[in-house]
Amino acid sequence: MGNEKDTEALMLKYFPTCPLCGADKGYDVSGFAKSFVQCRSCKAKWESTDFIKCQELKQLELWDLPYDGKGASLKRKKFPVEFWQDSNAVKSKIDVEKTEALAKNQSESRVLFTTEASDETLQQQNREDLTDLRRYEADKGMGGFLTHLTGTAIENAMVSLLHAIVIENKVLIRQNELILRSLKEAKPLNANNT
């Protein structure tokens, strides 16, 4: 079993700069078997059983995303070292991820709800959005961003925060529709009964 210095040296041998952010600040090593490495700059974390023997690095699994959330489609998937060493291949995978996310957002954002949607449907959509918002707060909350913001990281943080605002606004709009429906169903108070 390798120690922290051996594991970091093996990672640096194959990746003198971080495969995701390109920083050359090195890696922190963790785990019982010292099989996890984390970029000191972007905090992306990889795992490989190859670190246990510390002889040759054949594959890496992106265990935790960097602070900017880049590479979500690559998380918890094993790729050969050659993939991570090819910055164009990594960028291409991430670009596909962004394109798919944009297409999904565009298709979902056309109509927030229809007047035929039931109250239960609107409430369910609100619950789903609130769950996504809680997940966003847990995964990408400001605590992780503020310590590492530089250059494009600031732009990525802004996009993530704007996404959270959009989710909150969708919930508010649906909630207002539910209130409006309730008010329309309520009987007006008789002026003589006041």
Say if residue 77 is in the same domain as residue 119: no
pLDDT of res. 156: 64
Q: Is pLDDT of 25 > 80?
A: yes
Integer Cα distance of 121 and 125 in angstroms = 6
Mean pLDDT of 60-89: 89
137 or 176, greater pLDDT: 176
Confidence of residue 129 (pLDDT cuts 50, 70, 90): confident
103 is a domain residue = no
Q: Which of 55, 71, 87 corresponds to the end of one domain?
A: 87
Does 120 lie in the same domain as 75?
no
**Is 110:33 a contact under the CB 8 Å cutoff?**
no
For residue 192, tell me if it sits in a domain. Answer: no
Cα angle value 149/31/85 (rounded, 5°): 60
C-alpha torsion 151→81→6→37, nearest 10: 40
Look at 155 and 191; give whichever has higher pLDDT: 155
User: Mean pLDDT throughout 38-48?
Assistant: 94
Q: Are residues 80 and 123 in the same domain?
A: no
CA distance 143 to 145: 6
Q: What is the share, in percent, of the chain residues with pLDDT greater than 70?
A: 74
- Its domain, for residue 63, covers 4-87
- pLDDT tens sequence across 178-191: 998 888 888 666 65
Q: Does a structural domain hold residue 77? A: yes
The count of domains in the chain is: 2
